[in-house]
């Protein structure tokens, strides 16, 4: 998201999140670092992990409040942790056992489903410029969560046999994760900027929750995919998709409601960053166009390649014309590093997990081994 002077303030001019001790001074700001006492004994070393965690959580709650900590914990443990990891781990077994499609179709389906991650810039622009139902973040998170939950219900309950239809449902499932991730990330980055002396407390908390969630997902996806239809795993995804709705509805994100007289499109923001906003919207349009092309012409790989190459040239030219040069160079480098990296993981996945009949003498890995 793009900050600007006076961004996100109440009518009185005060910041809309609840102040915590140490807001404007060193007192009350804790970095959560636990140190052993000088005369530490065996018991101190045994208790060191627990006391370190306790000290860390006390610092986190002291600096950011327990409500916001719950919001971020749910987001990065349940949604981006477990749910996002399940989405990545289930794709192979879902393509092979449920949809019965080959590697080419599976990769096309995954490409469509991952499109929301390419339009995060546009999501951020829209949420900054237009407060939906009076909120810049809360309403967007709730809307995306409802769509994502409905998508998971359909994936779990409907007899989906079309890769194109599955790609559309997975698109909305990823839209929830990408939107919630972006807006929660923007909020905690804002609070970290307000309290820079908290150090890496929030970032450590976010990544700790994410890694724990990913680890937990890897423990059950493989065994279930081996013994049952992988489609049933989507039933486990429904409560995870719903989990972010509760703290967001209770406004644990501390997203201040915009006064009625200030609602509508923030044209001042648009005038301040016209080219960046235009670039984000064009990139999102191209990404959605690519997804629609993949869905409508699922097996037309040559046409898909022509579209991707031509739009790549357009976006690269616009980036160097409209974005700050340093940002354009970074974007172009990261893009080229991905393009030039020869990735055959999709074909490898199918080969490694093929049965003896398909690949005689092959590794024949089961999903428990391959995913867990």
Mean pLDDT, range 272-276, rounded to an integer: 91
Quick one: three-class SS letters along 49-62? HHHHHHHHHHHHHH
d(CA 272, CA 181): 25
- State pLDDT tens for residues 361-370: 889 899 999 8
> How confident is residue 13, by pLDDT bands cut at 50, 70 and 90?
very low
Task: Tell me the sheet residues that pair with 78.
Answer: none
DSSP 17: S
Mean pLDDT, range 70-94, rounded to an integer: 94
Where is average pLDDT lowest: 29-43, 72-86, 194-208, 250-264?
29-43
Q: Yes or no: say if 112 and 171 are a contact pair by the CB < 8 Å rule.
A: yes
Provide the strand spans (E) within 90-150.
none
Where is average pLDDT lowest: 61-65, 111-115, 181-185?
61-65
Mean pLDDT, range 168-197, rounded to an integer: 91
- State pLDDT tens for residues 310-330: 999 999 999 999 988 998 999
Please report the pLDDT score of residue 170 as a whole number: 95
> How confident is residue 216, by pLDDT bands cut at 50, 70 and 90?
very high
Question: Rg (Cα) of the chain, in Å, rounded?
Answer: 23
d(CA 204, CA 224): 31
Q: Classify 152 as helix, strand or coil.
A: helix
Instruction: With a cut of 60, say whether residue 8 has pLDDT above it.
Output: no
Please report the pLDDT score of residue 347 as a whole number: 78
Q: Yes or no: say if 230 and 93 are a contact pair by the CB < 8 Å rule.
A: yes
> How confident is residue 17, by pLDDT bands cut at 50, 70 and 90?
very low
Q: Classify 9 as helix, strand or coil.
A: strand
Rounded to the nearest integer, the mean pLDDT of the chain is 86
Provide the strand spans (E) within 194-252.
none
Q: Classify 300 as helix, strand or coil.
A: coil
> How confident is residue 354, by pLDDT bands cut at 50, 70 and 90?
confident
Instruction: With a cut of 80, say whether residue 131 has pLDDT above it.
Output: yes
Please report the pLDDT score of residue 2 as a whole number: 52
Instruction: With a cut of 90, say whether residue 4 has pLDDT above it.
Output: no
The answer to pTM > 0.95 is no
d(CA 95, CA 274): 42
Q: Yes or no: say if 117 and 171 are a contact pair by the CB < 8 Å rule.
A: no
Please report the pLDDT score of residue 31 as a whole number: 59
Where is average pLDDT lowest: 47-51, 97-101, 235-239, 284-288?
47-51
Instruction: With a cut of 50, say whether residue 233 has pLDDT above it.
Output: yes
- The closest of 239, 237, 207, 206 to 68, measured between CA atoms, is 206
To the nearest whole percent, how much of the chain has pLDDT over 90? 54
Q: Which residue has the higher pLDDT, 8 or 61?
A: 61
Give the tokens for residue 133: 């139902």
Please report the pLDDT score of residue 24 as a whole number: 42
């Amino acid at each position: 998201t793009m900050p600007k002077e006076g961004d996100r303030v109440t009518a009185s001019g005060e910041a809309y999140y609840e102040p915590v001790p140490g807001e404007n001074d060193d007192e009350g700001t804790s970095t959560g670092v636990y140190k052993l006492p000088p005369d530490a004994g065996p018991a101190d070393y045994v208790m060191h992990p627990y006391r370190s965690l306790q000290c860390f959580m006390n610092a986190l709650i002291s600096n950011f409040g327990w409500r916001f900590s719950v919001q971020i914990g749910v987001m990065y443990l349940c949604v981006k942790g477990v749910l996002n990891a399940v989405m990545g781990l289930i794709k192979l077994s879902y393509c092979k056992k449920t949809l019965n499609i080959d590697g080419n179709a599976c990769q096309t389906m995954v490409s469509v489903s991952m499109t929301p991650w390419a339009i995060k810039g546009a999501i951020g622009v829209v949420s900054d410029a237009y407060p939906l139902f009076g909120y810049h973040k809360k309403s967007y998170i709730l809307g995306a969560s409802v769509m994502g939950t409905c998508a998971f219900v359909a994936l779990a309950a409907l007899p989906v046999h079309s890769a194109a239809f599955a790609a559309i449902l997975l698109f909305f499932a990823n839209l929830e994760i990408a939107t919630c991730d972006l807006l929660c990330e923007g909020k905690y980055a804002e609070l970290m900027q307000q309290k820079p002396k908290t150090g890496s407390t929030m970032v450590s908390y976010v990544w700790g929750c994410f890694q724990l969630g990913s680890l937990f997902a890897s423990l059950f996806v493989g065994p279930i995919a081996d013994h049952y239809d992988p489609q049933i795993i989507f039933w486990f995804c429904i409560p995870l998709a719903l989990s972010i709705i509760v703290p967001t509805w209770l406004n644990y994100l501390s997203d201040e409601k915009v006064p009625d007289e200030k609602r509508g499109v923030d044209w001042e923001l648009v005038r301040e960053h016209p080219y960046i906003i235009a670039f984000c919207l064009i990139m999102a349009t191209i990404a959605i166009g690519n997804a629609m092309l993949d869905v409508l012409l699922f097996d037309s790989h040559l046409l898909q390649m022509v579209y991707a190459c031509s739009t790549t040239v357009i976006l690269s030219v616009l980036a160097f014309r409209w974005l700050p040069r340093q940002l354009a160079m970074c974007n172009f480098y990261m893009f080229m590093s991905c393009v030039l990296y020869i990735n055959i993981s999709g074909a490898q996945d199918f080969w490694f997990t093929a049965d003896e009949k398909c690949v005689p003498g092959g590794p024949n890995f089961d999903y428990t081994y391959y995913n867990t």
